[in-house]
Amino acid sequence: MAELWDVYDKDRNPTGRTHERGTPLAPGEFHLVVQVWLRAPDGRWLCSKRAPGKPYGGYWEPTGGAALAGEDSLAAALRETREELGLELDPARGRLMWKFRVYDAFADVWMFECPFTPDDVTLQPSETCGARFFTSDEILNMLGSGADGDEAFMECSYAAGLFSLFDPPVYRAAVLPRGTKTTDIKWEDIPAVKVDRWFWRDDYAPETEARLCLIEDGGIALKMTCRESDPVARHTEYGDEVWVDSAMECFLAAEKGGRYINIEMNSAANKLVGVGEGREGRLSIDAFYPCPGVTVEKGGGVWSAETFYPKEALDAVFGGFECRVGARMWGNFFKVGEETAAPHYGMWSAIISPDPDFHRPEFFSEIIFIENI
């Protein structure tokens, strides 16, 4: 019997039509696929090996496949795991991590807590020929390595971001002497972090980095840089929706779980800056302190945005902040372009959310201000 898939439009709306596997989808048509990551209590991942007769036979991968007509995402994840590995997953122990759009498919990424061992696995010979636990580092070392015995793993653009959720990054940012002028900052000497976790869409990922430094008793300076030759900048009025342009963003909180500030900048030096404890009910920074300006430089296929928040602004927003060596903040850095030719969503600290959402302070990572070297 032919395998049928439900057909979706570009916005993931069901069209009411079905499609037979093995024939090309028409332009603008999509189907649903799932990837299922099985995580053991010791942090390793149970993966399967593709059968020799399949494309990329011999490669290791997370379990997964196409949803059948009438199936939702969770049902497909449970069925694929049952068919390929013979394992019955508990739906209550699963979490939908992200939704991607790739080529002619919507790909849902699931993670389940896995109480099983390889001895519990029953392989489906037409689909799988092995099952094994891997550490995160082993998988990262095998990605894109080519089909070389057991050392090849299917390419996965989000793998490093997935694994980083269990070992969050820490930014050791610089502290500059009291009285340092922002014009005297040698940004090339300031430690940088990369915005290199791409979720929801991964077909465009411009090289982006952020540099943050604290001036003792003075404030915090921020510079973000992106390798992008023609950044979109349609929104030029203060407070406009700059995130739909090509924008770089920095979210900062003075304490974990507290009020945070979102600083969003496009290449026209326009900005949107809000304050609050979550997405809802945010206030303009002007309710606390006049919004600092943004300086933009463009050239050579690169653009950068720089801004400075004096201690008075930080005190007003956070109810007090000590600009000194050893100070800590929590935050994230982003690259976004929601309504560009290639929509994209990049970040420093990975976020779990099926749909794009940067306002997730529970995934902020720690920033420690140490003396500059």
Q: Are 67 and 53 in contact (CB under 8 A)?
A: no
Distance, in Å, from the CA atom of 111 to the CA atom of 113, rounded to the nearest integer, reads 7
Largest CA distance in the chain: 76
Residue 203's pLDDT is what?
86
49: tokens are 């090996």
Distance, in Å, from the CA atom of 307 to the CA atom of 265, rounded to the nearest integer, reads 9
- Specify the 3-state DSSP secondary structure of 192: strand
Radius of gyration over every alpha carbon of the chain, rounded to an integer in angstroms: 23
Distance, in Å, from the CA atom of 130 to the CA atom of 153, rounded to the nearest integer, reads 13
Q: Are 332 and 367 in contact (CB under 8 A)?
A: no
Q: Compute CA distances 359 → 17, 146, 164, 254, 366, whole Å.
A: 36, 38, 19, 16, 16
Give the H or E element holding residue 142: helix 136-142
Q: Are 323 and 217 in contact (CB under 8 A)?
A: yes
118: tokens are 């390889």
Beta 260-266 vs 247-253: how paired, if at all?
Answer: antiparallel
Domain assignments of the chain as residue spans, ordered by start: 4-164, 170-371
> Length of the chain, please?
373
Domain covering 4-164, topology:
Nucleoside Triphosphate Pyrophosphohydrolase (3.90.79)
pLDDT tens across the length of the chain (373 residues): 789 999 999 999 999 999 999 999 999 999 999 999 999 999 999 999 999 988 889 999 999 999 999 999 999 999 999 999 999 999 999 999 999 998 899 999 999 998 988 889 999 999 999 999 999 999 999 987 654 455 789 999 899 999 999 999 999 999 999 999 999 999 999 999 999 999 998 889 999 999 999 999 999 999 999 999 999 999 999 989 999 999 999 999 999 999 999 999 999 999 999 999 999 999 999 999 999 999 999 999 999 999 999 999 999 999 999 999 999 999 999 999 999 999 999 999 999 999 999 999 999 999 999 976 5
Distance, in Å, from the CA atom of 32 to the CA atom of 65, rounded to the nearest integer, reads 9
Query: Which residue type occupies 65?
Result: G
Residue 158's CB: how many other CB atoms inside 10 A?
A: 19
Q: Are 152 and 145 in contact (CB under 8 A)?
A: yes
Beta 170-176 vs 208-215: how paired, if at all?
Answer: parallel
134: tokens are 């891997």
- Specify the 3-state DSSP secondary structure of 363: helix
Q: What angle do CA 58, 60, 64 make, to 5 degrees?
A: 115
What is the CATH number that goes with domain 170-371?
A: 2.60.40.1190
**In DSSP terms, which residues pair with 329 in a beta bridge?**
367
